[in-house]
Amino acid sequence: MRQVIVGNHAVSWGARLARVEVISAYPITPQTQVVEKLSEMCANGTLAARFIKVESEHSAMAACVGASAAGARAFTATSSHGLVFMHEMLHWAAGGRHPIVMANVNRALGPGWNIWTDQNDSLSQRDTGWVQLYCETNQEVLDTAIQAFKLAEAVDLPVMLVLDAFYLSHTAEPVDIPDQEMVDRFLPPRTARLKLDVNEPRAFGALVRPDSYMEMRWLQQEAMREVPHVLERIEADWLRMFGRRYGAIEGYRTEDAELLLVTSGTVTSTARFVVDRRRDEGEAIGLVKVKMFRPFPTAGLRRLLAGVARVAVLDRNVSPGHGGIFAEETRSALYDLPSGDRPEVYGYVLGLGGRDVTPSVIDEVIDRTRQCAQPEREDVWVGVNP
């Protein structure tokens, strides 16, 4: 069934089709429609889930952890301050190996209040142990939402599905909504291996001493290492059943490129437009879209970027005191390529707080990258610091 729906509702549809069992969520702009739609679905009986109207996001994640610990398929959605308020429990969800799925609408952090799109909220949570998947279209949002549960339950890690504020959350696009029956075949009900069970009483989360803690974190790291392979299989299944595939990373017109852009989120769509125009003008230019930020797609990026002369990373985020986060992680991934294969990486911080990233901004980025033989010592803040 094809419908024109906003990104937030694509999230709702994804959660519904995945037959989530427990939802606990707190409203925050621009996520509110996700939960409103889900409330409506629970109220009219089209979704047989318990909806806990918690009193804060910290409690929302706590309730998801509790529900997941008891063996249920749990879901929440948030944005910005809501996400960072949950920070403590994000660690708990990942360290507890709970396959929770959460949609985060990328929105800037205050002060001052800013409701527009920005990636600092999700990226500041990169060390919490969640898988992070950044979406470019509403179709991708819906598809990824469902896949996220399968991925999470396969590796027992929580998965964050990320979409841009307003550009996706509030923008209506035509979306193909899969059949429930087919989704059921793709994603069976969750059967937790270990859970809170009065028939097999166990204690979860008791104190772990230095002699054992590292091993548990190592196993969590091992699970993260599995994610790319599991995701690949899941996408192969999805392709077979629904005809669509995205990839942890996607190279677009990268063949014999002299310059590759690295993008994520909706900036990717704008960048594709600019790449196409410039290719038409004879430039050897392409882009790499990073969908899977955690685990960081080191192997994939090395494959696509090795031997390219210049790489321009577009970061709609910044780690104060360092630079754009995709840029620093990309540099780190490329570091031990042989020096001949290692590209120059140019970092560009742009679009913070929802500042529009237009084709001319991307043109500026490309031109500047071509003109400078070496990247600046610090990332260039486009439109702010020359």
Partner 1 sequence: MPCGARSSRGRPVSSRSAGRATRRGIPPVSVSGTSTLVTHTGSWKYIWPVYHDRVAPCNRGCPVGIDIEGYLNLMREDRVADARRLLLAENPMPAVTGRVCHHPCESACNRGMFDAAVSIHAVERMLGDLALQEPLSDSVAPRRDERVAVVGSGPAGLSCAYHLSRFGYHVTVFEAASAPGGMLRQGIPEYRLPRAILDGEIERIRALGVEMRCGVRVGADLPWERVLADFDALFVASGAHASRALGVEGEDGTGVRPGLAFLREVNAGARPSVGRRVVVVGGGNTAMDCARSALRLGASVTVLYRRTRAEMPAIADEVEEADREGVAFAFLAAPVGFHVVHGTLRAVECERMALGEPDASGRRRPESTGERFTLLADTVLTAIGESPDLDALPPDLARRDSGVRVDPLGRTSRAAVFAGGDVTEAPRTVADALGAGKRAAVGIDRQLRARPREPRDADDLEALRFGGGNISALRWLGRDPVARVAPVNEVVTFEELNLNHFVKVARRRDTHARPERARATFDEVNRGLTREEAEEEARRCLNCGVCTHCDVCLIFCPDLAISRNGDGAYRIALDYCKGCGVCVAECPRGAIVMTREGP
Partner 2 sequence: MSQLLIRDEVPRDDLMTSGHLACPGCAAPLAMRLVLKGMGPRTIVVMPASCWSIIAGPWPQSSLQVPVYHTAFATGAALASGVRAALDVRGETDTAVMVWAGDGGTFDIGLQALSGAAERNEDLLYCCYDNEAYMNTGVQRSSATPWGAWTSTTPVPHPEASPKKDILAILAAHRIPYAATASVAYPVDLLAKVRRARAVRGTRFLHILAPCPPGWKSADEETIELARMAVQSRIFPLLEVEDGERWRLTVNHAAEAVEPYLRRQGRFRHLSEEQVARIQADVDARWGALMRRVDTGVLEV
CB of 178 closer than 8 Å to CB of 17: yes
What is the Cα–Cα distance from 220 to 89, expressed in whole angstroms? 16
Site size with partner 2, rule: CB under 8 A: 43
- d(Cα 93, Cα 215) in Å, to the nearest integer? 17
CB 310 within 8 Å of CB 334: no
Q: Which 37-76 positions form the footprint of partner 2 (CB under 8 A)?
A: 48-50, 52-56, 58-60, 62-72, 74
Q: If DSSP codes are grouped into helix, strand and coil, which group holds residue 140?
A: helix
Of the pair 96, 343, the CB lying nearest partner 2 is at: 96
Does 206 bind partner 1 (CB under 8 A)? Our answer is yes
Only one of the segments 16-24, 119-127, 269-277, 336-344 lies at the binding site for partner 2 (rule: CB under 8 A); that segment is 16-24
**Between 174 and 188, CB nearer to partner 1:** 188
208 sits near partner 2 (criterion: CB under 8 A): yes
Q: Which of 4, 48, 216, 372 lies at the binding interface for partner 1 (CB under 8 A)?
A: 216
Rounded CA separation 198/66 (Å)? 15
- From the list 77, 98, 87, the residue with the least C-alpha distance to 145 is 77
Which residues lie closer than 8 Å to 384 by C-beta, 6 or more apart? 349
**Which residue, 67 or 313, has its beta carbon nearer to partner 1?**
67
Nearer to partner 2 (CB atom), residue 69 or residue 102: 69
Closest CA to 334 of 290, 303, 368, 380: 303
Q: Binding of partner 2 at residue 274 (CB under 8 A)?
A: no
- Per the CB < 8 A criterion, the answer to whether 228 and 248 are in contact is yes
Closest CA to 8 of 30, 38, 34: 34
Q: Among partner 2, partner 1, none, what binds residue 215 when CB lies within 5 to 8 Å by partner kind?
A: partner 1
Choose which of 203, 282, 320, 338 interacts with partner 1 (CB under 8 A). 203
What residues line the site for partner 1 (CB under 8 A)? Answer: 95-97, 154-157, 194, 202-208, 212, 215-216, 218-220, 222-223, 225-226, 229-230, 233
What residues line the site for partner 2 (CB under 8 A)? Answer: 21-22, 24, 48-50, 52-56, 58-60, 62-72, 74, 88-89, 92, 196-198, 200-209, 212
